[in-house]
Chain A
Amino acid sequence: MTVRGLRPLTLLTVLLLAVGYGLAFFWAPLDADQGFRQKIFYLHVPLGIVALIGFVVGGYHGLRHLRGGKPGSDLRSYVAIHMAQIFAVAVLITGAIWGRTAWGKWWSWDEPFLVSFLIVFLLYCCYQPLRLSIDDPRRQARAASVFAVVAGAFVPINFAVVRMANQYLHPRTLTNSTDGSMPGSVAITFLVCLVAIAVLYATLVRYELLSKSTTFRLRALERQAGGDDLIPRRSAVPQA
Chain B
Amino acid sequence: MSLVSSVSNAVIAQTMVPEDSGGPYVAAAYVVFLVLIAVYVAIMAQRLGKISRQAAELEARLGAANASTGAGAVQGGSVTGAAAPPAQGDDRQKVGS
Contact = CB atoms under 8 A, between A and B. Distances in A.
B32 A221 contact: no
Contact of A97 (B25, B47, B54, B95): B25
Interface string A213-228: 0110110011011111
A188 interface: no
A186 B17 contact: no
Nearest to A3: B48
A32 B13 contact: yes
A89 B10 CA distance: 27
Interface in A201-217: 204, 207-208, 210-211, 214-215, 217
Contact of A44 (B21, B22, B29, B54): B29
B11 A32 contact: yes
Interface in A99-133: 99-103, 111, 113
A221 B41 CA distance: 26
Nearest to A207: B44
A43 interface: yes
A191 interface: no
Contacts of B11: 29, 31-32, 183
Contacts of A233: 91-93
Give the size category of A's interface with B.
35 or more
A18 interface: no
Interface residues of B, number: 57
B7 A38 contact: yes
B55 A218 contact: yes
Given A30-B17, A93-B32, A97-B29, A211 B22 contact: no
A47 B22 CA distance: 20
A36 B33 contact: no
A221 B5 contact: no
A190 to B, nearest CB: 8
B80 to A, nearest CB: 9
Nearest to B39: A86
A32 B22 contact: no
Nearest to B65: A225
Contacts of A182: 7-8, 10
